[in-house]
Structure 1
Amino acid sequence: MADELSTTFAALADPTRRAILTRLGDGEATVSELAQPFAMSLPAISKHLSVLERAGLISKTPDAQRRRCRLEATPLQDATTWLELYREHWERRLDDLGDYLATMSTPSTQGTTQEKP
């Protein structure tokens, strides 16, 4: 799973590829439809799509003379599961830190004597 996660995160590291995935979240699209919003050549978009396909984030299916791309959820779910483990860990640690800091800011009554009127 670690190698698959590395491949997923490497694919997600590029903003163009993330934008492509966002677009595919709305539904299938052809390569030319995916290329429209970007100021780059069709071969450059195809390279991005190849990276996403190798990572398992998208799949391509032939549709007459075009290839339709579809978002594949499993690698994103795996990445989310992995990230969730760390989110829970750091949430607990930050809660512990918050508790510790709260005890530091509370005035201590130990070692003080109270005077009687």
Structure 2
Amino acid sequence: MTVNGFRRGEGGGGPAACDGHFHGDDEMIAALSTQWFANGQRCHKKVRITSARNGRSVEATVVDECDSRRGCKDNIVDTSKAVWEALGLGTNIGEVPVTWSDA
């Protein structure tokens, strides 16, 4: 899992693919790799994300596809700062191992 900014001007680039809007860092949201995004089939659906470091789990809503062609690996979930904080993780870590499933 990596941290992503979903507000205008942050690292996420343009508006979210699912709704064409920007989103705040305080929202429990995620962007999935192209394969997992499944051409938008997971838009607005909840996913359960579990930290491999501490076992904590949260639910986040899928709002975007992370750009697999520009550096987002096929097995990455980009999430807002709110998800990291809810999992008890510092966003300065960069990338952390997680598991996820449809909620």
Q: Same fold (TM over 0.5)?
A: no
Bigger helix fraction = 1
Higher share in strand? 2
Which one has more relative contact order, counting CA pairs under 8 Å at least 6 apart? 2
* TM-score, normalised via structure 1 length: 0.23
